[in-house]
Chain A
């Protein structure tokens, strides 16, 4: 993700890079807002005709599936194979690609490497009491995702960037496992937080 909007890939200046990060952040927020609002409306509409417990159980089951996926159990989670939409990069300029890619990532489950915490966030948002909360959570989500650009290499060539990222990934093999474990922990915590909803029925 950090490579896809880097100046070494897009060829833009550092000033435009900062602008693209802003566009990316706006796209992320918009994408998360779309998914969060949809989940919110679906859950609240369903809550009008079904008991809250039934709605929470329906949300509970997919969370279990994605937690198992994060834990390394082969479960049917519909993640696409592609991470960066290269076709989009070829047909639009970098200034358009940044918000579009951000929106795709913000919506979630349109790219690879989605952690279970993302679905936990979507279901958590769905059970909030107002749409203002959905907006706030979307902003926080986008901000967390944009942090990856802070230590991003600057003024590097594509080959140099590749080497730096290869080195990071190599060191990160165990870190990646830790992230998955942490994602499982976060989602499990989300499930715990849903328990009062189930009890309150």
Chain B
């Protein structure tokens, strides 16, 4: 029972750590949300496509 409880605590700690520490989660979600909002604001196509390109390169580079 103690082992199960310990495993649960460890799983919860790992999950919390992944949400709090992971720069991928924070940066990825923030960047995606900002871009989604910016889609209606950025009128310069070159700036807009460059932002998408940066995200495309950055995100794929971090994939396992």
Contacts and interface: CB of A to CB of B under 8 A. Distances in A.
- Do A and B associate with each other? yes
Interface of A: 1-2, 28, 32, 105, 113-115, 117-118, 120-121, 124-125, 127-129, 133, 136-138, 140-148, 165, 169-176, 178-179, 181-186, 188-190, 192-193
Interface of B: 14-15, 17-19, 21-26, 28-29, 31-33, 35-36, 38-40, 42, 45-46, 48-50, 52-64
A121 B39 CA distance: 14
5 contacts: A124-B52, A142-B57, A148-B62, A178-B24, A192-B39
B36 A189 contact: yes
Given A124-B48, A189-B36, A189-B38, A176 B56 contact: no
Nearest to B50: A140
Contacts of A114: 60
A166 B16 CA distance: 18
A148 B23 CA distance: 12
A148 B61 CA distance: 6
A140 to B, nearest CB: 5
B59 A182 contact: yes
Nearest to A128: B45
Query: Among B45, B56, B61, B62, which residue has the most Cβ atoms of chain A within 10 A?
Result: B56
A171 to B, nearest CB: 5
A171 B14 contact: yes
Contacts of A184: 32
A129 B63 contact: no
Contacts of A113: 60, 63-64
Nearest to B24: A175
Contacts of B36: 185-186, 188-189, 192
A39 to B, nearest CB: 11
Given A175-B18, A185-B36, A190-B39, A141 B29 contact: no
Contacts of A192: 36, 39-40
The 10 A-B pairs at the shortest CB distance, nearest first, are namely A182-B32, A144-B57, A175-B24, A185-B32, A145-B57, A189-B39, A124-B49, A148-B61, A182-B28, A141-B53
A115 B50 CA distance: 16
Contacts of B56: 115, 117-118, 120-121, 141, 144, 183, 186
B18 A127 contact: no
Contact of B61 (A1, A138, A182, A186): A1
